Amino acid sequence: MFNLTDQLLAKGHEVIPFSIHYAKNVSTPFSRYFVEPLGNRDQVYFDQQKKSFKTVSRTLSRLFYSPEVEKAVCRIVADHKPRVAYILHYLRKLSPALLVGLKKRNIPIIVRLSDYGMLCPQAHFLRDNQPCTLCAHGKILPSVQYRCIKASLAASALNMMATWYHRQRHFFDLIDCFVCTNNFMYTMMLDAGYPESKLTCIPTFNNIEHFSPTDGYSKSDYIAYCGRIAELKGVHVLLEAMAHLKKKNCADLRLKIAGTGDPKYIDACRRQIAGMRLETNVEFVGELNTEQLPEFLANALFSVVPSLSFENLPNSLIESLACGTPVIASNIGSLKGCIENGRNGFLFNPGDSLDLADKIATCLGNETFLNAMAINARLEAEAEYSPGNHINKLMKVFNELL
């Protein structure tokens, strides 16, 4: 959102944010229009919220329909008269009341699909660490059967009822255009019955000047993982691959893991590292700031995206390519459309640590091959994931709707 705002402001557009009051929000004069969070202002995630009558009632309202949100968005639209609305997230924390409030003022609505929440109640098409598309074509009952929301029968049933309510009220018909970040998502939306006239594919962009290669594409001696540390991201698969490589005379290979995530999963990963005697090979570097991250990725031999889910064109992948760092990624979902074997990285069978180890071994010890892939990675980032390319495509959508 902030990357996009910066680009639009630089081109002379006015950007009016509408969001939720959180303690860590960037200061803005428009915050007086923001709605309150489900819990307290320092509680961003559901798991952080303390259960109270206020929290539960507001959560139910935002799940189904929130008059509070409708009123707030009507106020900001009436006062500032925007010409178009671009929505990144609204389900569950703002509700489709946001769409109704905008349409009452005849504002064209574009929704960027940041996950698979329109097609999957769990949002990731993942069940028991395996891809699951039972709900992809409109069915919702399987999500209750398998307790896909918070592993809870009650939460899954409530989500199902809310989705049925939204569909009965035709709230999603208010959306004029869905922006997919990748062709896999685009195809999934088509297969689910969404009209092609309402779909467009615009890949995520990053700052390719900030994320850039080192001089001469010089590299250090480590491979990188960057992103959320959670089970669906497959970090444990990468650790297993490191153990295989250590047995293959790659005892000096180093892995650096950047990011934060689920504390219980991180503890499990640390126990896994100790059990496989990888303490000297694996390092958790923590959360990196905007200055540290480009350097971290640019100096890596290559980065690994071992996700078990379909993903939605993760930032870590396009940032790595922009830094001239090839990517080894799971051959699944949106990832398989971004990486081509031997050109800008490699694909491996999802969850298969032996195959991942083989792909890593293929890259090691061949500096010329790795350098060629690094150059290709950067060229692709410049062509496909640049700010200019993204803004031009997005402005075309805006102008067509206006």
Nearest to 212 by CA among 318, 122, 140, 107: 318
Contact 266, 302 (CB under 8 A): no
Q: Which two tokens stand for residue 250?
A: 């790659």
The two three-digit tokens of residue 141, written as one number: 């009952």
Residues 199 and 300 in one domain: no
Judged by DSSP in three states, 86 sits in strand
Pair 270, 152 in one domain: no
Same domain, 163 and 246: no
167 contact partners, CB below 8 Å, separation of at least 6: none
Radius of gyration of the chain (CA): 22
345-348/282-286 β-pairing: unpaired
**Surface-to-core class of residue 337, CB atoms within 10 Å of its CB (0-12 exposed, 13-18 middle, 19+ buried):** middle
What CATH number has the domain bearing residue 124?
3.40.50
Structure tokens at 67: 């008059």
- Between CA 19 and CA 89 the distance in angstroms is 9
Domain co-membership, 318 together with 285:
yes
Task: Look at residue 42 in the predicted model and tell me its pLDDT.
Answer: 86
DSSP calls for 65-85: --HHHHHHHHHHHHHH--S-E
Q: How far apart are CA 363 and CA 42, in angstroms?
A: 44
Both 305 and 326 in one domain: the answer is: yes
Would you state the pLDDT for residue 394? 97
User: Residue 225: which CATH number?
Assistant: 3.40.50.2000
Domain range enclosing 262: 215-384
Question: How many Cβ atoms from other residues are within 10 Å of residue 160's Cβ?
Answer: 20
303 DSSP β-pair partners:
224, 327
234/308 Cα distance (integer angstroms): 6
CB distance 265 to 229 below 8 Å:
yes
Count of Cβ atoms closer than 10 Å to residue 293 Cβ: 20
Angle (nearest 5°) at CA 317 between 237 and 213: 120
Structure tokens at 8: 């639009």
Identify whether residues 188 and 160 lie together within a single domain. Answer: yes
- If asked whether residues 107 and 230 sit together in one domain, one would say no
pLDDT of the chain along its 402 residues, tens only? Answer: 999 999 999 999 999 999 999 999 999 999 999 999 988 888 877 777 788 888 889 999 999 999 999 999 999 999 999 999 999 999 999 999 999 999 999 999 999 999 999 999 999 999 999 999 999 999 999 999 999 998 999 999 999 999 999 999 999 999 999 999 999 999 999 999 999 999 999 999 999 999 999 999 999 999 999 999 999 999 999 999 999 999 987 889 999 999 999 999 999 999 999 999 999 999 999 999 999 999 999 999 999 999 999 999 999 999 999 999 999 999 999 999 999 999 999 999 999 999 999 999 999 978 899 999 999 999 999 999 999 999 999 999 999 999
Q: Label residue 182 exposed, middle or buried (CB < 10 Å: 0-12, 13-18, 19+).
A: buried
**65 lies in the same domain as 195:** yes
Same domain assignment for residues 324 and 342: yes
- pLDDT at residue 365 in the model: 78
251 and 169 in one domain? Answer: no
In angstroms, the Cα distances linking 89 to 20, 95, 151, 267, 364 are 11, 9, 22, 30, 40
Kindly give the residue spans of alpha helices, DSSP state H, lying in 138-288: 141-145, 153-168, 183-191, 235-247, 263-275
d(CA 277, CA 337): 35
At residue 305, the 3 state secondary structure works out as strand
**What is the model's pLDDT at position 307?**
98
130 and 142 fall within a common domain:
yes
CB 286 within 8 A of CB 252: no
Q: Are residues 201 and 278 located together in one domain of the fold?
A: no
Report the candidate in 22, 40, 39 with the shortest Cα–Cα distance to residue 31: 22
Domains of the chain: total: 2
Q: What is the pTM of this model?
A: 0.94
CA distance to 95, 212, 293, 370, per residue, from 224 (Å): 37, 16, 11, 15
pLDDT of residue 44: 79
